[in-house]
Each structure stands twice: as C-alpha cells, then as structure tokens.
C-alpha cells in the first residue's frame, strides 16, 4: 500500500484531534509534519511531536495538507493553502474561507463524496453543526425529498477552540468556589450553568453567522440551492459533542419505521432510540447524549417521531462529536476517499 507525506496545520483542538484520528485509523503515513504559528514540542496522548513554523517552505514534499488553523485574511488557509498546492499538496481545509467558493467541493464523504472528482487542489470541510445535520438529512432526502428543515443546536464549547474549553472549565471552578468569574476572552458571557443563544456574529437579517453557515452549506452539500433551512444555534456548557433538534418536512409522508430503516442503513449513523419501556421505569426512553457521542465517530440519532400536526413532518434528535465528525474525522475521511478514488495529485 502507498504511504503519504501528510501535514497538519494548527495544533489546537482540531489539529490535535486530527493527529489522533490519523493514528487511530492507521492512515498510511510516510511522514506526519505538524505546523503552527510557533515552533515547539508538544505531547499528544503521551507521544511527543515537534511542531515547525507554518511557512511556505514547510510544505515541500507534502502530498496531503490538513488545515486546522485560524480563519480569515491572516488565517492559515488564506495565507498558506496556495503555497501548499503549488508544492504539490492537496489541501483539506477546516475553516470557512473556501466553503462557499463554487470551485471548491464542500464534502461529507458519505453524503457527496462524488463531488471530490472536481477538486482543483483544495477541498473544504463543513462547519461542525452542518456536517452532522447533512449526515442525518441525506438518507431522508433520498427517501422522500426534503421540503423544509428547522433545526436548533445545542453546541459544545470545544467548537470554539481549545482556549474556550479552558475558559469554561475556569468559569465552572470559579462558580463552585463562589469566586468571581474570570475575564471573558473566548466566551462572551457566563456559560457555566447557562446557555447562550446569541454568542456568534449577527447578520443584518437577524440570524447569526453560524446559523447562515448551516443554511448555505447544507444547500451546497445536498445540491439543493433553494432548500428551506431555518436554524437557531445555541452554545451550551458541554465540553464535547453537539446536539441538534431537527424538524423536517418531506414531499411525501415518511413513517418512523421507514426513517429508522433508512438511517440505520446509512454509513456512519447509529440509532439509539430504545422505545421499549422497562418494568422499573415505564416512562423512560433512551436517546443519545453528548457524552455518548464524545470521542466516537458515529452520528447518533434518537427521538424519531412523526409530527401530529403536519402529515409529512418528522422530528428527531442527533448528536455527534464536533471535533471528530464535525472536523478532524471528516477531514481524514476526505483524505481516505481521495486515495480510494485515485484523486490525489490530480490538481488542475
Ligand atoms: N472546534 C471545532 O469543533 C471545529 C469544527 C469545525 C471547524 N473548525 C475550524 O477548525 C479551525 C481550527 O479550530 P480549533 O478549534 O482547533 O482552533 P484552536 O484550538 O484555537 O487552534 C488553532 C491552531 O491554529 C494555529 N494557527 C492559527 N493561525 C495560524 C496561521 N496563520 N498559520 C499556522 N497556524 C495557525 C494555532 O497555532 P499556535 O498554536 O502556534 O497559536 C493553533 O495551533 C478553525 O478554522 C475552526 O473554525 C473547528
């Protein structure tokens, strides 16, 4: 089997998870090069790695560059992706800079892996909330064509990066100790013992940019430019794993059994929806929680039920690990899919 020279750019929450995923999936590595703003030694799961400064020359000889740096004009992908591609690498970017560029495939391999064939050197990984949403929507869409989707998210703090996780932990410790909260840096307000429905940038239409990413990216990935998607994104005091309450309407009625069968047969989806009451607690039902999804690869689905008020309406709940399916795992799966389809090195 061929083995590849791989770079991971950024060694924060997502970059470190990428290293873990590459190792756990036994990705065929000839070399793993870690790059970040500052060079240093780091430890991931007890193993030491040296991190080099991310400069254009650092991509010499790299075939796959997994980007997990910051976004925007001065971010890693905008400043360095072209340099990596020029040196022969295929770039898989976790940030939002290229996701809506019509020349860049935006990919969840189980959903639209076929669009990788058109890549010109850069492939975008969707926003974490979008990745698990389209993963769940696709089998239902294939079954009965979606007409509309209303989704509310329960997003964990690791979605905001490693610094935000440390800050939430400090908030919790301060509250428990009865001490003043630490200054707000990565989190705009008190999240410990609270939920924040307005912690992203607001757009003129009243939606937050996180919500609009879900609209535009879902449409692009499903190839449905007019699909009605209405999200509300909320940050919750969870470390890892995003939950989503999804309401959807389809062109024809989909029964719970049909939905369950289609979801269960779809790669990467696992249903936890035990509706058989136990003798001890006849009212208890089992549904997946962020703790069930943390450090796991599957997108978990539960609470599948028909809407009693709309003939073609279906409600469900899903959870996935935002650092894995929402970021690192999906990026590595894209790299695996490129290899499987013989698409490495096919840059225009
Ligand atoms: N967290 C999630 O669930 C999630 C999900 C999907 C997508 N994403 C996206 O993935 C990216 C990384 O997120 P994160 O949560 O891992 O962030 P993070 O924990 O804040 O880590 C950012 C890392 O990027 C490095 N970096 C920043 N600017 C750079 C530059 N110009 N050149 C090279 N390296 C640079 C930093 O280097 P230093 O360590 O040297 O400072 C740091 O290691 C972001 O674009 C984010 O939007 C995150």
Is there an atom of ligand 1 within 6 Å of 95 CB? Answer: yes
d(CA 182, CA 319): 30
Q: Is the pTM of this model over 0.75?
A: yes
Q: Residue 19's beta-bridge partner residues?
A: none
| pLDDT at res. 285 | 72
Helix (H) or strand (E) holding 272, with range, is: none
Q: Closest residue (by CA) to atom 12 of ligand 1? A: 68
- Work out the average pLDDT over 174-195: 97
Interval 323-334: pLDDT, tens: 999 999 999 999
List 119, 135, 141, 242, catalytic entry: 242
**Nearest CA owner, ligand 1 atom 41:** 37
Among the options 128, 135, 141, 318, which is catalytic?
Answer: 128
- Ligand 1 center–CA 146 separation, angstroms: 34
Active site residue 128: yes
pLDDT-derived band at 346, boundaries 50, 70, 90: very low
Q: What is the pLDDT of residue 345?
A: 65
173: Cα within 13 Å, side-chain hemisphere: 7
Q: Is 242 a catalytic residue?
A: yes
* Beta-carbon count within 10 A of 72 CB: 12
166 Cβ closer than 6 Å to some ligand 1 atom? no
At 79 the pLDDT is 96
- What are the pLDDT digits (tens) for 18-77? 999 999 999 999 999 999 999 999 999 999 999 999 999 999 999 999 999 988 888 899
Structure confidence at residue 281 as a pLDDT band (50, 70, 90): confident
Interval between CA 69 and ligand 1 midpoint (Å)? 3
Q: How many Cβ atoms sit within 10 Å of the Cβ of residue 12?
A: 16
CB 123 within 8 A of CB 92: yes
- Give the three-state DSSP class for 117: helix
Q: Which atom of ligand 1 is nearest to the CA of 127?
A: 6
CA distance 52 to 65: 14
Q: What is the mean pLDDT of residues 119-145?
A: 98
Q: What is the CA radius of gyration of the chain?
A: 20
For the chain, domains (ranges, CATH) are 4-126+327-340 (3.40.50.720), 130-322 (3.30.360.10)
């Amino acid at each position: 089997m061929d083995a590849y020279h791989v770079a991971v750019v950024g060694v924060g929450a997502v970059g470190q998870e990428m290293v873990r995923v590459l190792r756990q999936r036994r990705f065929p590595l000839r070399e793993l090069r870690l790059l970040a703003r500052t060079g240093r030694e780091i430890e991931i799961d007890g193993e030491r790695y040296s991190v080099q400064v991310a400069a254009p020359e650092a991509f010499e000889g790299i075939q796959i560059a997994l980007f997990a740096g910051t976004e925007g004009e001065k971010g890693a992908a905008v400043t360095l992706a072209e340099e990596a591609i020029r040196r022969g690498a295929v770039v898989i970017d976790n940030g939002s800079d290229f996701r809506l560029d019509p020349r860049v495939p935006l990919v969840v391999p189980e959903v639209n892996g076929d669009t990788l064939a058109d890549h010109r050197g850069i492939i975008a990984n969707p926003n974490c909330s979008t990745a698990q949403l389209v993963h769940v929507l696709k089998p239902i869409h294939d079954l009965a064509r979606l007409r509309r989707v209303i989704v509310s998210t329960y997003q964990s703090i690791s979605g905001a990066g490693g610094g935000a996780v440390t800050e939430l932990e400090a908030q919790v410790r301060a509250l428990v100790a009865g001490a003043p909260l630490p200054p707000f840096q990565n989190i705009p307000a008190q999240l410990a013992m609270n939920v924040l429905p307005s912690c992203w940038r607001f757009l003129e239409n009243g939606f937050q940019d996180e919500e609009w990413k879900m609209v535009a990216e879902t449409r692009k990935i499903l190839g449905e430019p007019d699909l009605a998607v209405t999200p509300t994104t909320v940050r919750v005091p969870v470390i890892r794993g995003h939950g989503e309450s999804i309401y959807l309407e389809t062109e024809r009625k989909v029964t719970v059994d049909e939905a369950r069968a289609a979801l269960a047969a779809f790669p990467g989806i696992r249903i936890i929806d035990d509706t058989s009451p136990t003798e001890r607690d006849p009212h208890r039902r089992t549904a997946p929680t962020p703790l069930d999804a943390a450090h796991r690869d599957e997108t978990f689905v539960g609470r599948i039920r028909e809407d009693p008020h709309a003939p073609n309406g279906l409600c469900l709940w899903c959870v996935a690990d935002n650092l894995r399916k929402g970021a690192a795992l999906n990026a590595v799966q894209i790299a695996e899919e490129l290899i499987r389809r013989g698409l490495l090195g096919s840059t225009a």
